[in-house]
Structure 1
């Protein structure tokens, strides 16, 4: 394994955190700023497996940009959506009565969406009960569109709710991966980048829940 001394680690950290600045400064100005020789920076690039300084800083910048796009994912999702899907989504929100469901962390997002719709005067209700059949036979009869939130797109409670409702509702879903069962049931499906896991205890940051809120707010601008 390649080892780096303290000065080398300092250079690598600076470039990783400030790739644009490193590109603008060039190797000469960067060496003066970090108090290391240009030849030392060049050797670092070779030790990291790059052809040279320029190859190193541009590669690090590209990787950082990729990571940013993966973790955010909102703009990418909205940009690739069919305008027809967005129009359908807006129609459902503005003309129908909305019922919303999500489990665990998705429930927090669902409650946010419900309260946000309520402030806009849109008739909405978050399903906060265990007995889906009771809901469907009582309050559920008043609604005609359902919003489901699920990171994996395979939430069993969501699937049970869909099955028990027997196609009564128009379905809008927010999920974390392109191909999933809930999306297949949906009239309109939005996919926001997330970590595909059903485990609540995940060490890596999961951008899905934040992305759903950001994406939902961006879509509201179109209402």
Structure 2
């Protein structure tokens, strides 16, 4: 039985939030339609205006559209598990940080800032009907060498992008189950502390 992926998944939020956050999720299948460079530039512009410690903006994005050499080069650095489904995506990216500040000190906030960039980009993308899915499964060192980044840079994540849609049958059985699983998050009282940290057992 074919099952089409849809943009909306039920999100059991406990408090009101805007739809672009509530409805955003990270699929592994995408509609069979390209993402234009114009749309990508709108997504990148949203990321460009993310908050950044000392305005250092340590993020760097390598991107490629399916069918291009850059897309294939990024794909080559994904771990096998991610390659198995990321081929559904019309766009692949690498999120790269400069781990040094302009005066050569360690930038301990660079990963946080890249996260801000990607979150901005994801919300902008969702407003356009485009989903992104971030991946930790990337061969960091080989990607860094292939794309010519200096020693102080770190390839932190890979990212897929594409319009919501597609067919879950393009995935293996285990991933089909994950795609249809209910969304869940920790409750606020598991990570909020109005005072001292209290270790809590995970549910």
TM-score, L = length of structure 2: 0.25
Structure (1 or 2) with the greater helix fraction: 1
TM-score, L = length of structure 1: 0.23
Larger Rg: 1
